[in-house]
Amino acid sequence: MNNIDSILKNKARLIERIQNKTAQHVLLDQVYPENWQEMASASAVLFLLGFNMCGNGNAPEPCLILNKRSNKVRQPGDLCCPGGGIMPTLDPLLGKFLTLPGFPLARWPLWKDFHAEKTIQAHILKSLFSTCLRESFEEMRLFPLDVRFLGPLPFQELVLFKRTIYPLAGWVGHQKRFFPNWEVDKIVNIPLRKLLDPANYARYQYRFTWPGTNQSTWQTYDTPCYLHQHHQEREVLWGATCRITLNFLKIVFGFKPPEITTLPTVRSDMHANYLGGKRK
């Protein structure tokens, strides 16, 4: 852990480690479907990291930057990565600019090799990254050219929706303030050191009713979650965003949370309108 602590304190070493660790599987694995049409119902999200965003006093540290969903969208109150649905005509066009000299993908050390060896995969990746940047600008006014691409992460299948999420890791450089739109209640910054602390994890047990079914009929699910305590507020990171985060922590730091059966339980009830807004 001491070695990890030293890495977390050094921005250059941390960025290099993330790029190296995520790169190990990129050239070996098929990251994306070969058929672009299969991506029509998919979403791309930005696993956004930054330095000096959530430090203690005068001690800056790296953190994960998330959005908390507002009551005007589906899954209100949940923490999520910025991002959204793919625009098949616009995003590939915008993606072309990302490979120009000085732009985010051109600065990614693996881009030339990836593009040369897996051209179709590279085309999809740049389109997905443009989706991430476009949506992040809309949701929180993230300045696209201030984002450094760090590498793709394993995709996730949503449990409550038929949708695939493709996360891409990015690093925000100089921007310190964000301006959420109507979709976002607020920005939540979680230090990486807290995400690497096993004591901050729990078992999230939630009861759910599906639309059109008897409201007295509940289905119960158990899943790992991360509990983020900030001042007097507690946020629960769970679901696909939590799985994306745990994949990142495993790939980059070899971290795994404790077995779910050993964790304390946090309970929540979700009604059918959770799928349409206004969580109870």
pLDDT (tens place) for every residue of the chain, 280 residues total: 668 999 999 999 999 999 999 988 666 566 777 666 666 678 999 999 998 666 555 577 999 999 999 988 888 889 999 999 989 889 999 999 999 999 999 999 999 988 998 888 898 899 999 999 999 999 999 999 999 999 999 988 876 667 889 999 999 998 989 999 999 999 999 999 999 999 999 999 988 776 666 656 677 889 999 999 887 889 999 999 999 999 999 999 999 999 999 999 998 877 666 666 544 3
Neighbours of 145 (CB within 10 A): 12
The CATH number covering residue 188 comes to 3.90.79.10
Residue 280: inside a domain: no
CB atoms within 10 A of CB 270: 19
Q: Which residues have a Cβ under 8 Å from the Cβ of 116 and sit 6 or more positions away?
A: none
In a domain, 107, yes or no: yes
Phi then psi for residue 27, to 5 deg, are -80, -20
The pLDDT, as a whole number, for residue 99 is 94
Q: Which domain covers residue 230, as residue numbers?
A: 2-275
- Residue 129 contacts residue 98 (beta carbons within 8 Å): yes
Q: Residue 121: inside a domain, yes or no?
A: yes
Distant-in-sequence, close-in-space partners of 165: CB < 8 Å, separation ≥ 6? 42, 43, 44, 45, 83, 155, 156, 157, 158, 240, 244
In a domain, 247, yes or no: yes
Write down the pLDDT at residue 157: 82
**Structural domains in the chain (count):** 1
